Amino acid sequence: MTPVDADSGYAAVVDRFVDRIGRAAAWLTLAVVLLMATNVLLRYAFSIGSVWSQELEWHLLAPLALVGMTYALGKGEHVRVDVLYARFSPRRQAAIDGISALLALVFAGLVIRYSIPYVMQSYSIGEISADPGGLTHRWVLKALIPLGFALFGLQASAQGVAAWRRFVSAKAST
């Protein structure tokens, strides 16, 4: 899929929304790097460490990965066999992008459907870290799974709309 066309209404709104979230989430990268560097420095230079700060690393990495995959999809930076794709006509590229968007939507829907009970179970039992001194409210981290895939599905739907518009316009021009 290619980045969403700027003039495509719904798709453009979603693309701008995901872009803003992606740019905001990029600041988590700085937080993760600083936290990891601090943890390493404290552990190896001063023999000090804490479970909660190590767990916080992956609590910050999870939303970064979930938003990052959506941001990459919106920017067209995801994995694709460009050697073959570049040789296709614009109409065939649009068809492939549309099918890819549909498959991404189905995948996102399945992840959301099966992760919600996982989150609800964690919430209902008040799940916390099994390690002494670990973080509480583990359900919050787990809730990022359906939220992240909802954002991914939203971006995939925008990609599908843009692909459909390109498909139709390519048909009209041939």
> Which among 114, 57, 117, 75 is positioned nearest to 67, based on CA atoms?
75
**In sequence order, what DSSP letters do the residues of 84-148 get, joined into one string?**
HHTTS-HHHHHHHHHHHHHHHHHHHHHHHHHHHHHHHHHHHTT---SSTT--S-HHHHHHHHHHH
Looking at residue 130, its pLDDT comes to 87
Looking at residue 6, its pLDDT comes to 47
Domain spans of the chain?
10-173
Looking at residue 100, its pLDDT comes to 92
Rounded to whole angstroms, the Cα distance separating 142 from 165 reads 36
SS3 at position 51: helix
Rounded to whole angstroms, the Cα distance separating 71 from 19 reads 6
Rounded to whole angstroms, the Cα distance separating 167 from 97 reads 9
Looking at residue 159, its pLDDT comes to 92
State the residue for tokens 């039992």: 125
Reading the chain (174 residues) residue by residue, the pLDDT tens digits are 445 444 558 988 999 999 999 999 989 899 999 999 999 999 999 999 888 998 999 899 999 999 999 998 888 777 666 778 888 898 999 999 999 999 999 999 999 999 999 999 999 999 998 888 888 989 999 999 999 999 999 999 999 999 999 899 877 665
